[in-house]
């Protein structure tokens, strides 16, 4: 591990842990983060193993310089008072953490921040330079968006690849989206052009229940990561928050007949669409997840 602080261009390196075949998981608040589901999933990853017997603690690898990438009139810094009465300013930024997971075959690099306001090309270049230095083998971008889905049904995460070659090799879909994009689109495109495998995981959030946080959508992203990376992420607190969120929306819907009728229509549509998709592969995937949890327990 390299100790101390080294500065180069727009990235301030704190320390670099020894990482095994690391996967970089990326998410940003803002346009890509409906209901804060994506950043909620990252927060959970950073804290999930704190009480685990492995004592896995995130290591801050680096910060990206706030002055170069943020418009402070758009993303304003916040002022707070600490326990001694001193006032401090917290600036919007992006931080990169290393998460060593000796119980699994690979480690994680977690990138969490606020979507930058400007200089996206340079921001992406700096982040991918660091990914190269860390020998990252795969980048997974987490996002969430508002959609016409019922809160009472499982949330299906859309997993897509940045190129047809990656899609064919990993046996997943190729993204067909066309239109305005966020920083996640810039990162996946930049990764593809460097020869780094890049995927996008998008969780839909019910548009009528979009107030943050959306723990059920965050949980769906965690499940998608578990399935793809074949890992087991502790999630008792997040699962409990997801159940409470769903019950809260149920209660709110009971107070408005129009909303309740609308949700029922969404449920019927979702159920009809899901019936053809129920397959042996889906059942096997759920069983594999169950076995992983039993093995962990």
**How far is Cα 178 from Cα 139, in angstroms, rounded to an integer?**
21
How far out from the chain centre does Cα 53 lie?
A: 24
Q: What is the pTM of this model?
A: 0.88
Q: What does the domain layout of the chain look like in residue ranges? A: 6-296
Residue 56 confidence (pLDDT): 75
| Predicted confidence (pLDDT) per residue in 234-256, tens digit | 988 999 999 999 999 999 888 88
CB of 89 within 8 A of CB of 77? yes
**How far is Cα 293 from Cα 297, in angstroms, rounded to an integer?**
6
Residue of 241, 240, 222, 242 whose CA lies nearest to 232: 222
| Predicted confidence (pLDDT) per residue in 199-235, tens digit | 999 999 999 998 989 999 999 999 999 999 999 999 8
HSE of 35 in the Cβ direction (CA atoms, 13 Å)? 29
pLDDT value at 53 more than 60? no
**Poorest-pLDDT segment among 24-28, 65-69, 288-292:** 288-292
Residue 162 confidence (pLDDT): 86
pLDDT value at 277 more than 60? no
pLDDT value at 99 more than 60? yes
> Greater confidence, 166 or 7?
166
Residue 13 confidence (pLDDT): 87
CATH top-level class of 6-296? alpha beta
| Predicted confidence (pLDDT) per residue in 184-200, tens digit | 999 999 999 999 999 99
| Predicted confidence (pLDDT) per residue in 127-161, tens digit | 999 999 999 999 999 999 999 999 999 999 999 99
């Amino acid at each position: 591990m390299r100790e101390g602080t080294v500065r180069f261009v727009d990235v301030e390196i704190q320390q670099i842990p020894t990482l095994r075949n690391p996967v970089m998981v990326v998410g940003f608040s803002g346009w890509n983060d409906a209901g804060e589901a994506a950043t909620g999933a990252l927060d959970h990853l950073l804290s999930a193993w704190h009480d685990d017997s492995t004592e896995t603690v995130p290591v801050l690898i680096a910060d990206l310089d706030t002055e170069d990438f943020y418009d402070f009139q758009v993303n304003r810094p916040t002022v707070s008072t600490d326990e001694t009465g001193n006032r401090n300013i917290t600036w919007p930024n992006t931080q990169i953490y290393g998460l060593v997971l000796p119980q699994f075959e690979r480690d994680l690099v977690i990138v969490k921040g606020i979507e930058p306001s400007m200089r996206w090309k340079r921001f992406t270049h700096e982040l991918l330079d660091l990914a190269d230095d860390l020998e990252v083998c795969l980048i997974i971008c987490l996002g969430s968006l508002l959609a016409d889905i019922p809160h009472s049904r499982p949330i299906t995460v859309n997993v897509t690849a940045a190129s047809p070659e990656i899609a064919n090799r990993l046996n997943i879909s190729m993204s067909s989206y066309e239109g305005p994009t966020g920083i996640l689109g810039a990162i996946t495109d930049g990764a593809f052009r460097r020869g780094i495998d890049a995927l996008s995981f998008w969780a839909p959030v019910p548009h009528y229940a979009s107030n943050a946080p959306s723990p059920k959508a965050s949980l769906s992203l965690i499940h998608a990561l578990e399935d793809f990376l074949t890992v087991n992420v502790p999630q008792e607190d997040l699962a409990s928050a997801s159940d409470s969120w769903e019950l809260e929306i149920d209660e709110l819907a009971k107070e408005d007949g129009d909303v309740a009728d609308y949700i029922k229509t969404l449920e019927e549509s979702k159920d009809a669409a899901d019936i053809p998709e129920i397959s042996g592969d889906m059942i096997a995937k759920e069983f594999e997840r169950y076995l992983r949890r039993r093995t962990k327990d």
